[in-house]
């Protein structure tokens, strides 16, 4: 049986970013374009200027914010860590 789902991306926000932007997790349509990156998604979601110290994870691995994304990736924007 063929899968007719539209291509999507899972986006997650944590801690201060989640509270500033008012949501923690959502599935969004996969943006159009040849080079879909975390930075492009940030801009497409109109999340404002890139905050200092924010890191990016794709499928729970750190990546550069200009790494190309794939359909169904889990993209997370991570504010500076303070554990331990």
Partner 1 sequence: MMNLPFCLRSVVVNHSLFDHCVQVEVRPEPFSPWSELERWSPADAALAMFVGRVRGKSVDGAPLQALELEHYPGMTEARIAEEAEVAMASCGACSALVLHRVGRLNPGEVIVLVAVAADRRGPAQSCCASLLEALKHDAPIWKREWCRDLGSWLEGNTPR
Residues that bind partner 1 in the complex, under the rule CB under 8 A? 12, 14-16, 19, 53, 57, 60-62, 76, 78-84
Give the separation between CA 84 and CA 20, rounded to whole angstroms. 24
Give the separation between CA 51 and CA 53, rounded to whole angstroms. 6
Helix/strand/coil for 73: coil
CB of residue 83 to partner 1, shortest distance in Å: 3
C-beta closer to partner 1: residue 29 or 80: 80
CB of residue 54 to partner 1, shortest distance in Å: 10
CB of residue 14 to partner 1, shortest distance in Å: 6
> Smallest Cα–Cα separation from 12: which of 34, 48, 36, 45?
45
C-beta closer to partner 1: residue 33 or 49: 49
C-beta closer to partner 1: residue 2 or 82: 82
Give the separation between CA 26 and CA 39, rounded to whole angstroms. 17
């Amino acid at each position: 049986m063929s899968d007719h789902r539209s291509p999507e991306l899972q986006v997650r926000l944590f801690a201060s970013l989640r509270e500033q932007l008012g949501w923690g997790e959502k599935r969004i349509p996969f943006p159009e374009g040849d080079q879909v990156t975390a930075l492009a998604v940030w801009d497409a979601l109109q999340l404002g200027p890139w905050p200092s110290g924010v890191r990016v994870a794709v499928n729970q691995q750190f990546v550069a914010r200009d790494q190309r994304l794939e359909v169904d990736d889990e993209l997370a924007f991570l504010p500076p860590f303070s554990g331990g």
